[in-house]
């Protein structure tokens, strides 16, 4: 079982750390002429246009982020319109901007470098408006392209070791990552970006599914080779990252798995030349699950991994989330459409403790996933507060179970935030920077190398929920990258032995790029 050889994840993690020196000794020059296509295009497959006049749910974004749809007795069946809504608000094009070298098609969820390396596929039984099949979603023309006709849900159910959410799902969305599309800019660090960028997209997907009244969750336990074969992926270029079953049938079992022969469908090359980064292929291989038995054991063992709660030692501030009556009621669709990473924060502005509390409260209730016990979370949250009314400037640790912030050190740390966030102005000018750190030793011990996928994905999903919670309150936010070890040092001794996983800056935009 390669997954248990966790030196592979450590090797990848250590080898892709950013530091003051790594940035200066490995400057990366972008080859604009070889910039990858932002879409996967099957030129020989006829598209099935998705409806564009889908009614919006009108559900408040904060409720959609934090609520799970309870499983009811009856069936929860998505129709084609539900599917179109979920796909569009997860990965659809929401803005278009010209730049000197061409045009950028911005999408519903934040993505490193706006390179959009996450692709979506749908494996479905017959739905109202759509035949059973395996489809690829193309956001460029808002369409599905049929790759296989027939009901292949049994293949996914088998690959996921009959995980009930997949086995009972009328449709499952499969998220994949395309290495080169992101590695063009970020090299071998792209494997981390797979988790982050898939995660922000999942935050939208789970929120819109919940707003549509459909249960959905993240499934990370599956036999990789079986899912990749079903989608007919060229796995040196593109790999399956997670499954999201949507809806639920109360009775019946999925059809028996069918043979999924190679399709040999042509796709348009992303670039003239592609560069392969072996470190990522090795990391993926080492975190792949090889049999149904391995998937079953992995899921069970993972769920039993209990990360010890941090002992509180310092002064605490109680969070004050807004009550339901006080919360803004902007709908999930409105918020996704206006979201866009803040490019300049107003460093003279402040946010209220109630706004920060609402973001933390809504986004940290536990991501619904097969590998997490309900409410469990792999990432720990640390903050640098610069200008939060009701919170002294300083570094804090978020005690999720007590809903408090523990003061680690008082002080004005804008200069430190600039440095930690890869010497960028955004974290220095924000009102608060939210750092995600994790105890990789414990996580890899419990989950093997696949825990590395899990912790990055969870961070992206929580970060994506924070984006939505911030934009609901008409604030701005931006994901950021960081100098790994300096982040740990800054929050130590509290963060001793933890690794930096993700960073999100929250504040007020200087140029009002949100309405
Ligand atoms: C995980 C993550 C890390 C990011 N890191 C940076 C960063 O270091 N610097 C930056 O200016 N923007 C960063 N961004 C913002 C992206 O550039 C932005 O999401 C992308 O251009 C798409 O634009 P949009 O978010 O406005 O839709 C990051 C976004 C994510 C999701």
Burial of 48 (0-12, 13-18, 19+ CB in 10 A): middle
Rg of the chain over Cα atoms, rounded to whole angstroms, equals 22
Residue 515: pLDDT band (50, 70, 90) is: very low
Among the residue ranges 72-81, 398-407, 412-421, 434-443, the one predicted with the least confidence is: 72-81
Q: What does the pLDDT average to over 450-471?
A: 98
The ligand 1 atom at the shortest distance from the C-alpha of residue 109 is 27
pLDDT at 465 over 60: yes
CA of 255 to the centre of ligand 1 (A): 41
Q: What does the pLDDT average to over 35-41?
A: 97
Task: Using alpha carbons only, give the angle 83, 88, 253 rounded to the nearest 5 degrees.
Answer: 25
Residue 246, C-beta contacts closer than 8 angstroms, at least 6 positions apart: 78, 82, 83, 86, 169, 170, 171, 172, 173, 209, 214, 215, 216
CA of 250 to the centre of ligand 1 (A): 40
Name the residue with tokens 């991994």: 305
Give 108-142 pLDDT, tens digit per residue: 999 999 999 999 999 999 999 999 999 999 999 99
Burial of 46 (0-12, 13-18, 19+ CB in 10 A): exposed
Give 50-59 pLDDT, tens digit per residue: 999 999 999 9
Closest CA to 437 of 393, 482, 388: 482
pLDDT of 416? 98
Name the residue with tokens 């023309």: 141
pLDDT at 235 over 80: yes
pLDDT at 86 over 90: yes
Inter-residue contact 382 to 491 (CB < 8 Å):
yes
pLDDT of 26? 82
Residue to probe by mutation, ligand 1, list 113, 345, 471, 505, most atoms within 8 Å of CB: 113
pLDDT of 512? 56
CA of 26 to the centre of ligand 1 (A): 21
Q: What does the pLDDT average to over 267-293?
A: 98
pLDDT of 310? 83
Inter-residue contact 499 to 482 (CB < 8 Å):
no
pTM for the whole structure? 0.97
Residue located nearest, by CA, to atom 26 of ligand 1: 340
CA dihedral 486, 456, 458, 94 (to 10 degrees): 100
Mean pLDDT for all residues in the chain: 96
pLDDT at 19 over 60: yes
Inter-residue contact 432 to 384 (CB < 8 Å):
yes
pLDDT of 446? 96
Give 23-37 pLDDT, tens digit per residue: 888 878 899 999 999
Distance CA 507, CA 345 (A): 6
pLDDT at 68 over 80: no
The ligand 1 atom at the shortest distance from the C-alpha of residue 340 is 26
Ligand 1 pocket at CB < 6 A: 106, 110-114, 196-197, 200, 340-341, 422, 424, 426, 478-481
């Amino acid at each position: 079982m390669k997954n248990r050889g966790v030196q592979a994840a450590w090797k990848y993690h250590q080898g892709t750390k950013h530091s003051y020196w790594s940035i200066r000794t490995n400057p990366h020059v972008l080859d604009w002429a070889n910039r990858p296509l932002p879409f996967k295009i099957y030129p020989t497959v006829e598209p099935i246009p998705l409806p564009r006049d889908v009614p919006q749910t009108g559900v408040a974004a904060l409720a959609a982020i934090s609520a799970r749809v309870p499983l009811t007795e009856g069936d929860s069946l998505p129709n084609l319109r539900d599917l179109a809504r979920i796909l569009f608000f997860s990965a659809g094009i929401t803005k278009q901007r010209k730049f000197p070298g061409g045009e950028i098609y911005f999408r519903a969820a934040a993505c490193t470098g706006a390179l959009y390396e996450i692709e979506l596929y749908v494996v479905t039984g017959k739905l109202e408006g759509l035949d059973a099949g395996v489809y690829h979603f193309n956001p460029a023309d808002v369409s599905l392209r049929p790759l296989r006709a027939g009901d292949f849900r049994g293949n996914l159910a088998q690959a996921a070791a009959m995980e009930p959410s997949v086995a009972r799902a009328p449709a499952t969305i499969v998220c994949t990552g395309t290495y080169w599309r992101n590695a063009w800019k970020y090299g071998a660090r792209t494997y981390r970006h797979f988790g982050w960028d898939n995660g922000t997209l999942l935050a939208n997907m789970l929120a819109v599914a919940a707003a549509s009244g459909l249960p959905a969750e993240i499934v990370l336990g599956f036999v990789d080779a079986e899912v990749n074969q079903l989608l007919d992926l060229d796995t040196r270029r593109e790999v399956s990252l997670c499954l999201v079953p949507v809806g639920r049938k109360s009775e019946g079992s999925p059809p028996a798995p069918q043979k999924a022969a190679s399709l040999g469908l042509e796709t348009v090359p992303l670039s003239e030349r592609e560069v392969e980064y072996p470190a990522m292929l090795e990391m993926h291989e080492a975190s792949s699950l090889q049999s149904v038995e391995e998937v079953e054991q992995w899921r069970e063992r993972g769920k039993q991994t209990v990360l010890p709660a941090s002992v509180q030692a310092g002064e605490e501030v109680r969070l004050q989330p807004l009550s339901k009556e006080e919360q803004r009621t902007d709908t999930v669709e409105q918020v996704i459409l206006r979201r866009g990473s803040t490019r300049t924060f107003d460093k003279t502005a402040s946010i209220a403790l109630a706004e920060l509390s609402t973001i933390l409260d809504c986004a940290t209730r536990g991501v619904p996933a097969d590998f997490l016990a309900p409410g469990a979370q792999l990432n720990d949250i640390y903050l640098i507060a610069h200008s939060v009314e009701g919170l002294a400037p300083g570094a804090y640790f978020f005690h999720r179970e007590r809903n408090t912030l523990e003061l680690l050190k008082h002080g004005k740390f804008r200069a430190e935030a600039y440095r930690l966030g890869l010497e960028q102005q955004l974290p220095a000018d924000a009102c608060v920077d939210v750092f995600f750190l994790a105890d990789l030793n414990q996580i890899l011990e419990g989950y093997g190398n696949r825990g590395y996928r899990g912790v990055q994905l969870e961070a992206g999903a929580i970060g994506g929920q924070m984006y939505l919670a911030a934009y609901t309150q008409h604030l701005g936010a931006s994901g950021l990258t960081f100098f790994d070890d300096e982040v740990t040092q800054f929050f130590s001794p509290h963060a001793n032995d933890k690794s930096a996983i993700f960073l999100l800056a929250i504040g007020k935009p200087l140029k009002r790029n949100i309405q």
